[in-house]
Structure 1
Amino acid sequence: MTTNEQHTHYVPEHTPRLQWAEHAPEVYKAMFKLEVAARKGVDPVVFELVKIRASQINHCAFCLDMHTKDALAAGESVERIIQLSAWEESQHFYTEKELAAIELTEAITVLTEGFVPDEVYAKAAKQFDETELAHLIAAIVAINAWNRFGVSTRMVPGHYTPGQFK
């Protein structure tokens, strides 16, 4: 495909299954409070990297749309966002602290073995003090919950404006 060719594959936007926040406003408010509380203790760059990586793993298009836009608006590079899905092969794009957070995100998001490996936790504990680590874990848990709401109700990506929910 050359730069002059148009992308012809188009899939019409789907309709969400359920406007869950409208039907469970107390749950939405509680989730938002968790989000705000977790955010206070996590570096903003790490926070968005964690949100993006968990959303990639969970295939949450709505959250990917939101958090990539927020990261770009905050000055994150396109290159680092693109490389995040292949971070293990692109570690030179990230700091040791960011890598520890990304690896912990994967371990908490994909509990296939039923636990977070000690070595992954130890790497994170070496990079973050206990308060930061507690907030980081809360941020990872929160995005996984948001992803599950987004995926199960088929929230529609593409309409988010950066900074809309800060």
Structure 2
Amino acid sequence: MPNIDDVLRRQAQIIDTIGWAVTHVLPTDDDPDTTTPFAYTVGLTAHHHPELLTAGLPTEVAHSLLNDLARRVYDTAERFTHGQRVSDLIAGYDAIIIDGSPTDDLLPGMAIARYGRHQIRLQQLVWPDQQGRFPWDIGYNLEPQAQPLIAQM
């Protein structure tokens, strides 16, 4: 298993090559039920953009969605706003971007370690349930811990 210095070096190489890296936080064998999996970018802060985050999705899906959004931000300087609907990311569904701050459940530790807590701005990609409802909508059919949020809508 690589040590933290190896992880940081590899992450720096990815950021230098691509412009950002995606980091995943997953439940551990010791604590499988207390952490909702989430993923976030590291590297966009250096280009004066918020880091992007999503929670509760399988790692491959989260990685792909964050890479798609980060590519838009990095390559074309696309800016997302709080409450913005993104209709061309998840087939058949809209997603919504929300602005917020790190929380105990969604703490982008590698980004904070690299840039400092006060330099980090976050935007979360919020995905809907199968009926297209979001966590703040009446009738949303998933438990709150399925997709913790960095802010309310």
TM-score by length of 1: 0.24
Greater relative contact order structure (CA < 8 Å, 6+ sep): 1
Q: TM-score of the superposition, structure 2-length normalised? A: 0.25
Greater helix share, structure number: 1
Structure with the higher strand share, 1 or 2: 2
